[in-house]
A = this chain, B = another copy of it.
Amino acid sequence: MAVSFTVTNRQKNGRARLGLLHTPHGTVETPVFMPVGTQATVKTMTPEEVWDVGGRLILSNTYHLYLRPGQELVREAGGLHRFMNWSGPILTDSGGFQVFSLGPLRKVSEEGVTFRSHIDGSEHFFSPEKAMEIQMALGSDIAMAFDECAPYPCSYEYAREALDRTSRWAERCLAAHRLKEQGVFGIVQGGVFHDLRKKSAGEIVSLNFAGYAIGGLSVGEPKELMYELLDYTVPFLPEEKPRYLMGVGSPDCLVEGVLRGIDMFDCVLPTRLARNGTVFTRRGRLVVRNAGNARDLNPLDPECGCYVCQNYSRAYIRHLLKAGEVLGIRLTTIHNLSFVLELMKELREAIREGKMVEYRDEFMEKYQYG
């Protein structure tokens, strides 16, 4: 099998676990956070920098790469790894989340989704078969099944229709997939409804994917509701397969997600916040753009050991951001990814030592109340 998973350590108190995710481009320790390289680049960073801050598995986007530069060029270039010069593993999403996010620009049928490009308005069609074809051309290590992600809030009926379609599409994805060197993950939907989550998990797991994602969370619902749905849903996923919580990347949610047995995460939040001039610190977020930092010669986070915090002051970084200098968003991006990836390392260490609950309590106390 192209992608396999080994659980190496289970926390006795709670569901957190350590694992090894084996892929054609290397083995990755879990729980893992995947930096997002939407357009075949983790925004502002070279692949070497992503590696240096601790990135081991990255995510890239089928929808974006299909539109620009097109999967055929990527295939000609030797696949996504060579095209973007990243030799570690890559997971590609299916494009489902993106095309369903287009709102009035898309039309759903049983066959698939017709949508208009956000770049030039041209019309396109994605189906489960097409999503697999594109991901096979990209040559990622892990492809995601094409799913329908219901919005929050949404009615019970809509959530059920979306999950039923997701199940039928999941079968079509597996039938269309023909790349031995690529694992395929299924996605559990079902909105905020317990019985629908259970139904979706049962149907998707019965298809025997290489791993399972929980989709349709972190789409606007309160964090407590997300945690509660994780508590409910995770037990329906098999112990021996990786569990991936899609679109989650704020430090507090990573900690709470790992505690609930999640192995993989991705999110644009750390890199997007960075480009807006906001950084993570152990005592919560800091808006480094703010005037209050104009003469502050401290590092972004005095408790952080990253390249940025060892070499630059808040005053300098704020100067760069105010002056529109690219180095400013580079430094905030490096810091935020370093922060999140260091956090994942500490979480793995806490599980190894059997102290996950204590770690969570200490981290959250400081992060939320400074």
Contacts and interface: CB of A to CB of B under 8 A. Distances in A.
As for how many copies of this chain the complex holds, the number is 2
A315 B44 contact: no
B316 A83 contact: yes
Interface in A42-70: 43-46, 68-69
A320 B42 CA distance: 11
Interface stretch (A231-239, A278-286, A322-330): A322-330
Contact of A77 (B45, B84, B297, B327): B297
A311 interface: yes
A6 interface: no
B46 A77 contact: no
Contacts of A41: 320, 325, 327
A101 to B, nearest CB: 18
28 contacts: A39-B319, A39-B320, A39-B323, A39-B325, A41-B325, A41-B327, A43-B326, A43-B327, A44-B327, A46-B327, A46-B330, A68-B319, A68-B322, A68-B323, A69-B294, A69-B319, A69-B322, A73-B294, A73-B295, A73-B315, A73-B319, A76-B295, A76-B297, A77-B297, A77-B316, A85-B316, A326-B329, A326-B330
Given A44-B330, A85-B312, 16 more contacts: A39-B319, A40-B320, A43-B325, A43-B326, A44-B326, A44-B327, A45-B327, A46-B330, A68-B319, A69-B315, A69-B319, A69-B322, A73-B315, A77-B316, A83-B316, A85-B311
